[in-house]
Amino acid sequence: MKPLKTLLLCAAISSVDAQAASIGSAPYGTTQQGQAVVQYTLANTRGVTMNCITYGGIVTRLEVPDRYGHRADIVLGFASLNDYERNNGKIHFGALIGRYANRIAGGQFVLQGQTYHLPVNEPPNTLHGGPHGFDEKIWSVVKTFQGAKGAGLQLRYVSPDGENGFPGTLTVDVTYTLTEDNEVRIDYRAKTDKPTVVNLTNHSYFNLAGEGSGSVENQLIMIAASSYTPTRADSIPTGEIASVEGTPLDLRALTLIGARLRSSFPQMRYARGYDHNWKLNKNGPRNDEPAFAARAYDPASGRVLDFYTTQPGLQFYMSNGLDGSAVGKSGSAYRQTDGFALEAEHFPDAPNHPAFPSTELKPGEEYHEVTVWKFGVR
């Protein structure tokens, strides 16, 4: 018989384990090329659950309680792997984006005196790394973990030298962590064997009232940014850093998302709504810890999303490309304004704008950026 002190200690450990965040896995199907895909489920003890698949590192489901404790899935997505394969190359629901998130003008850039040509997939430009980007790759699982503070998994993709025209073999590690503080933390790390450019993000579309519930126009958004990067009609930055003052892009206070969507402001006409990069208000050098960047709030459910990042920019996108042709996991046809994306990243077309924060990565250096989604209610 074990001593009483040992029995009490074992009971205490069991109690802690029972209250810890957890991670599980299950098959999610097979790609058209015969590759097996696995879905991981991260859950904390406060009612938040996140599903992620190894195809594209896609966040397929994210359940969060409202002010009454009722849970709802707040990210747009599809019901099956087949639907993701058929549609996500253009829509990018919940996916990891790379090698270069956002746009590169004319499908080319110059790095250390050499011009690199990329495939054009949003003529005349390259978008989100080009066709068959990181969002369509099978990511390997390096490790999973769980405990009293959170649960998560580390994913890896090795992009070969020359893939979609980018130089260098790039090893990318992305770690998703769901904490007991109702945070989803995303750590992006990358290393290269040749000078290259890299810009990574996650492309989840949020609807804080619940996926399939309709328009987010009555939800509110705030972005901690006094300036943005104006674009040409093809969404390529002009190179200017402009003040948001007096424009529909002044979102420094909580603002109804739908209040300015139909503005005649030229920047809003070019994008058919919001699809812009804000230069986040960050004083001094980039911090190693993520800083507050944005807040979204749904008055009906009380759900709040606070957004933190180490990245210098934030692309706020109002799902302008959704036209009803994509049917979501709840059976609803997704249309414009049915969700919004907050893509923390470096600036669009930065390799062609020396005044923008650099996206160059050299051998011996490590790219490391962090984004945090923190959920609450009010």
Residue positions in the annotated binding site for beta-D-galactose?
102-103, 203-205, 275
Q: Which of 225, 217, 216, 280 is nearest to 251 (CA)?
A: 225
Say which of 128, 203, 276, 346 is annotated catalytic: 203
Would you call 203 a catalytic residue per the annotation? yes
**Residue 272 tokens, joined:** 């058919």
CB 172 within 8 A of CB 157: yes
Q: Which of 344, 86, 112 is nearest to 223 (CA)?
A: 344
CA distance 111 to 115: 6
Q: Which of 64, 46, 295, 293 is nearest to 150 (CA)?
A: 46
Say which of 136, 343, 345, 369 is annotated catalytic: 343
- Classify 110 in phi/psi space as left (phi over 0), alpha (psi -120 to 50) or beta: beta
Would you call 366 a catalytic residue per the annotation? no
Q: What is the number of other CB atoms lying within 10 angstroms of the CB of residue 378?
A: 9
Which residues participate in the annotated binding site?
102-103, 203-205, 275
CB 176 within 8 A of CB 53: no
**Residue 35 tokens, joined:** 């590759």
Residue with tokens 């989840």: 204
Residues with catalytic function: 203, 343
